[in-house]
């Protein structure tokens, strides 16, 4: 198919096409899998996004990177799947449970639960070990909570759009997003920032 | 005066909707006095940045 050549050209004019495409595909799969938590569904979404990218190659103007373009398509494919699933009821989120234990009776942080100073956490973004912990923490969030959080932070949807897609009230959406952040920060603090930041201390 | 539980909730909501003037003032006052909640706010900001630059995504920190 002549298209194949065109796709490869779009990814990189100077060679290494197949391996680049494979690397993008594997990133896309990880991206989709984190959000859908269902391997066949994630693989389908990636496949469809790549196929759509392939077909629409003529519309790719080459100004942005091929990767951002194919990710823009992947976002739609993921949202499609979430929309299909939103008809299945999300397990109801228990409004009070979980984080009350971090606060005293007046609602102030208990001394041992007070959020710590993470220093300059941006340097962690280069650390593969950090990302392993980050993904594990994401996967530990309840499914419905994680779904809302990732629509907000991975897919970049506005809260109003999320509510609409999932048929939730805005207020409920905010509560769920807050619970996701509380859960994720607690997990990262205990499993990364306060535990020697991964591999360093094990040496 | 807000307690930490309410302040943390407002920090979070402020990332998802525009807070009202009263909310911003009372949150600002609480944050000025509470280091734990200031840390919470920085952590929540970091979570947003981290998600944006997740290695499985399309954007790397070194590119814009």
What tokens were used for A172?
A: 């409920």
pLDDT tens digits, B7-49: 999 999 999 999 999 999 999 999 999 999 999 999 999 999 9
CATH 1.10.10.10 placement within chain A: 99-202
CATH 1.10.1740.10 placement within chain A: 2-85
CB atoms within 10 A of CB A170: 14
What is the number of structural domains in chain B? 1
B contacts of A185 (beta carbons < 8 Å): 40, 43-44, 47
Residues in chain B: 64
Give the residue with greater pLDDT, A203 vs A167. A167
Closest residue, chain A, to B48 (C-alpha): A153
In the predicted structure, residue A108 carries a pLDDT above the cut 90: yes
Q: DSSP assignment of B6-27, as one string?
A: HHHHHHHHTTTSPPPHHHHHHH
Would you say residue B61 lies in a domain?
no
Would you say residue B58 lies in a domain?
no
pLDDT tens digits, A48-62: 999 998 888 777 777
CB contact under 8 A, A31 and B53: no
CB contact under 8 A, B16 and A184: no
Would you say residue B45 lies in a domain?
yes
Q: Which one of B42, B55, B63 makes the best mutation probe of the A interface by having the most chain A beta carbons within 10 Å?
A: B55
Q: What is the pLDDT of residue A202?
A: 42
**Gap between the Cα atoms of B41 and B23, Å rounded:** 15
Angle at A171 between CA A170 and CA A173, to 5 degrees: 65
The single-letter DSSP state of residue A101 is G
In the predicted structure, residue A200 carries a pLDDT above the cut 80: no
Q: What is the pLDDT of residue B61?
A: 61
Q: Are A44 and A29 in contact (CB under 8 A)?
A: no
Give the residue with greater pLDDT, A10 vs A100. A100
CATH number among 3.40.50.880, 1.10.10.10, 3.40.640.10, 3.30.390.30, domain A99-202: 1.10.10.10
> Which structural domain, as residue segments, surrounds residue B32?
4-52
**Gap between the Cα atoms of A148 and A154, Å rounded:** 10
> Long-range CB contacts (< 8 A, 24+ apart) of A185-188?
A185/A115, A185/B40, A185/B43, A185/B44, A185/B47, A186/A99, A186/A102, A187/A136, A187/A137, A187/A140, A188/A133, A188/A134, A188/A137, A188/B43
- The mean pLDDT value for A149-170 works out to 91
CATH number among 3.40.50.2300, 3.10.20.30, 1.10.1740.10, 1.10.150.80, domain A2-85: 1.10.1740.10
Distance of CA A142 to the CA centre of its chain: 14
């Amino acid at each position: 198919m002549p298209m194949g050549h065109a796709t490869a050209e779009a990814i990189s004019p100077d060679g290494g096409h197949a391996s680049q495409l494979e690397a993008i595909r594997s990133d896309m799969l990880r991206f989709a899998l984190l959000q859908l938590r269902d391997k066949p569904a994630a693989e389908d979404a990636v496949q469809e996004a790549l196929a759509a990218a392939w077909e629409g190659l003529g519309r790719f103007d080459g100004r942005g990177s091929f990767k951002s373009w194919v990710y823009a398509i992947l976002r739609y494919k993921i949202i499609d799947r979430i929309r299909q699933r939103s008809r299945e009821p999300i397990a109801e989120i228990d409004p009070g449970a979980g984080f009350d234990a971090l606060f005293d009776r007046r609602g102030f942080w208990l001394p041992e639960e007070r959020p710590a100073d993470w220093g300059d956490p941006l340097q962690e973004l280069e650390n593969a070990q950090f990302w392993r912990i980050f993904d594990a923490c994401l996967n530990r969030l309840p499914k419905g909570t994680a779904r809302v959080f990732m629509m907000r932070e991975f897919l970049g949807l506005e809260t109003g759009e999320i509510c609409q897609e999932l048929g939730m009230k805005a207020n409920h959406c905010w509560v769920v997003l807050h619970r996701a952040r509380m859960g994720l920060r607690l997990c990262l603090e205990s499993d990364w920032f306060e535990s020697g930041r991964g591999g360093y201390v094990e040496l | 005066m807000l307690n930490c539980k309410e302040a943390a909730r407002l920090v979070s909501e402020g990332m998802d909707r525009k807070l009202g003037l009263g909310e911003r003032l009372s949150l600002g006052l609480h944050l000025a006095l509470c280091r734990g909640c200031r840390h919470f706010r920085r952590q929540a900001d970091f979570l947003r940045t981290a998600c944006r630059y997740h290695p499985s995504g399309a954007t790397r920190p070194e590119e814009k």
